[in-house]
Chains A and B, each alone.
Chain A
C-alpha cells in the first residue's frame, strides 16, 4: 500500500493499524465506524490476520483482549453506544496489561443521538468511563493522514506500556476522503511488547522490578495465570488493601512516569500570542483557519492542538496560560476538555461548545476569539 492515495479516514486508520502490525480485529458494526470493520474484514485475511464479528461490543473488546493475550496486536472500533458498552473491558485490558487499541468514531449523544453526525462528546468518558483508578492514553486525529499516523502511534504506545490505547476520531475525520501518503515499511517504526528474556525454567513472574513487566504468552510452558481480580506478582488473586496498594499505583505509574514521552501536542503562533485557542481532533483545521484569520485582523492569536488529549498536556497548557491573557477552548461538546484546561490554566478560560451534529466553521471561532479579546 506504500504510495499516495485518495482515501477515507476510517480506511486510512485500518491501513495504519495494519502497518503497525495489527493482525486481529473483533467488532460489532455501528455507524459511523462501520467502514473500519468493512475494510478490516477485507484486509485481515489478505495479511494473514483474523477478522471476527462478535455479537456485541462487550464481547468484541473481550475477544480483542483474548487475542492480545495470545500474542496478536489487536483492535476494535466503535462509536458512542458501543463505546459505552466497552467500558468494562477497558478495565480488563488495564488489569491484564493486555495491549490493544480501541477506536471511537464519535457521533452525537446521549444514547442513540445522532448516528450519522459528528461530536466530540466522549472525551471525558474516554478518560474516566471504566470504574476504578487508571491512567488513559488517547490520540485525537484531525486529518486523514493522521488517522493513519496516529493508529501507528496508538499501537506502539499500547505495546510499549502494555495498556489499552484509544483513538478518539469522529464522524467528520472518519468519513472524509483526502490525500494519504503511506510510507514504505522500513520508514515505519513499530514496537512490540516486552517478552520474557529467559526460558520457562528460569522465569520468575515475581520479577516486577520493571514498571512494564514482560508479557508471558500461552502455550510456551511458562504456566501463566492472569486475573482481572487484584493480584500478586505471580498473577494470582489476592484481594487485599495492601496488594491493591502495590498493583494499582504501578499500573498508573506506567503512564505517569512516561508522560513526557507519551504526551504530544502542536503549538503554532504562540510566541507573541495574547489569546490562545485550544482544540483537538477534527477541530484542528477550522481552529487553525480561525487563528490565521484573527491574525489578519490584528488579533494576536495562537493555537495549541492536543494530539493526546490523554494524558492531558498539562505543561503546555500551564505555559500557554502564563503567556496569554485568555484561552478559548473550542470543542464539539457542551464542555469537556475545557475542565482540564481550567484545572491547569492560570488565566481566564472561555468555552465555545456545541452539542454535536456539526463542526464549527472558522468564522464562528473567529467571532468567539474577538469576544474573548474584548
Chain B
C-alpha cells in the first residue's frame, strides 16, 4: 500500500478495503517481484484502488480499463497486469470488453468488486443489481434481471473464474494468487458490501447486516453448476462461492505464436 495516499476515500464498513488488502497480499506472495506488477483500474469507488497500491498503476476511463490493460500487456507481456475495478465499470458500461477479453484469453487478471450498484455516484442500479432491489434509480425495485458473472465470463472463455466475498480473506487471496499463475484470462468476482449505496436501501441496516448475510448464506461449491450461481440478495437465497473454472486453454500469446510460426515458416 502507498502509506502517503491513506486514509482512503472509502466509507466505513465498505468491503473494498479488504478486497484491496487481499490483492496486495497476493502480490506479495506471488513469484513476480512487486515492480513487475501493474494495476489498472477504471472509474468508481473501486477504481481508486490503483492509487492506493504500491505498484505501477493506471487509473483510466469509465468502462475501459480492460482494453487499456490489453494494450499494455501486449507490449509488455512480462508484466503481471491486473485490472481492479467495480461491477458498474467492468460489467455494465464495460461489459463488452469483459466478454471479449475472456474470449481472447489474453493473460490478464480481472478483479471485479461487485457491490450490486453504482456506489460512487450515489447508489444507482446497474447490470449486477438483483431483480426487485432498491436503488436511487429503482425506487419501485429493479425491473431488470442481473448478470450472473461467473456464468457470463466462463461462457465467454476465461481460463480461471472464481467468486469470493471480501470477508473470505484467505480464500480470496489464494484465488488472486491463482489468477496470477494461470496462463490466460482470469476473473475473480469479489462480493463486497456497500452499506451506503446498496445495503441500507435493501434491508441491510448497516455494514454488519450485509456482512452477516454474506457469511451466513455463503456456500462454497467449486463444482457448482454455473447456471445456478446467480445472486438475488434475498434473505433466503444462498450465495455460492468457489473457484468454479480452472482450465488449461492456450492463452492469446500461445495461440498467436503457434500460428505465426507455422504460417511464416510454411511460407519459406
On whether A and B touch (CB less than 8 Å), the answer reads: yes
Identify which of B57, B60, B63 contacts A228 (C-beta below 8 A): B60
Could you give, for residues 54-69 of chain B, a 1 whenever the CB lies within 8 Å of some chain A CB and a 0 otherwise? 1111111101101111
Query: In the bound complex, do residue A66 and residue B69 qualify as a contact, i.e. CB atoms below 8 Å apart?
Result: yes
Query: In the bound complex, do residue B71 and residue A66 qualify as a contact, i.e. CB atoms below 8 Å apart?
Result: yes
How many B residues face the partner with a CB closer than 8 A?
37
How many A residues face the partner with a CB closer than 8 A?
42
Residues of A within 8 A of B76 (CB): 70-71, 218-219
Query: In the bound complex, do residue A236 and residue B5 qualify as a contact, i.e. CB atoms below 8 Å apart?
Result: yes
A66-119 residues with Cβ-Cβ distance < 8 A to B are 66-72, 74, 88-89, 92, 96
B98-118 residues with Cβ-Cβ distance < 8 A to A are 100
B61-84 residues with Cβ-Cβ distance < 8 A to A are 61, 63-64, 66-76, 78-79
The yes or no answer to A59 lying at the interface (CB within 8 A) is yes
The yes or no answer to B40 lying at the interface (CB within 8 A) is yes
With A52-B70, A223-B56 known as contacts, the answer to whether A58 contacts B51 (CB < 8 A) is: no
The yes or no answer to A222 lying at the interface (CB within 8 A) is yes
A88 to B40, CA, bound (A): 18
A267 to B237, CA, bound (A): 75
The yes or no answer to B38 lying at the interface (CB within 8 A) is yes
Query: In the bound complex, do residue B70 and residue A54 qualify as a contact, i.e. CB atoms below 8 Å apart?
Result: yes
Residues of B within 8 A of A226 (CB): 57-59
What residue in chain A is nearest B56 (Cβ atoms)?
A218
Identify which of B56, B72, B79 contacts A224 (C-beta below 8 A): B56
Residues of B within 8 A of A229 (CB): 59
Query: In the bound complex, do residue B100 and residue A221 qualify as a contact, i.e. CB atoms below 8 Å apart?
Result: no
Residues of A within 8 A of B222 (CB): none
Could you give, for residues 165-201 of chain B, a 1 whenever the CB lies within 8 Å of some chain A CB and a 0 otherwise? 0000000000000000000000000000000000000
The yes or no answer to B96 lying at the interface (CB within 8 A) is yes
Identify which of B48, B75, B79 contacts A24 (C-beta below 8 A): B75
> Shortest Cβ distance from B90 into chain A, in angstroms?
13
15 contacts between A and B (CB under 8 A): A45-B260, A52-B71, A54-B97, A55-B100, A59-B70, A63-B67, A67-B72, A67-B74, A219-B76, A219-B78, A222-B56, A224-B57, A225-B2, A227-B58, A237-B59
List the interface of chain A (C-beta within 8 A of B): 23-24, 26, 45, 50, 52, 54-56, 58-60, 62-72, 74, 88-89, 92, 96, 218-229, 236-237
* Nearest 9 CB-CB pairings of A with B: A66-B71, A59-B67, A63-B71, A67-B71, A227-B59, A70-B75, A66-B68, A62-B64, A66-B72
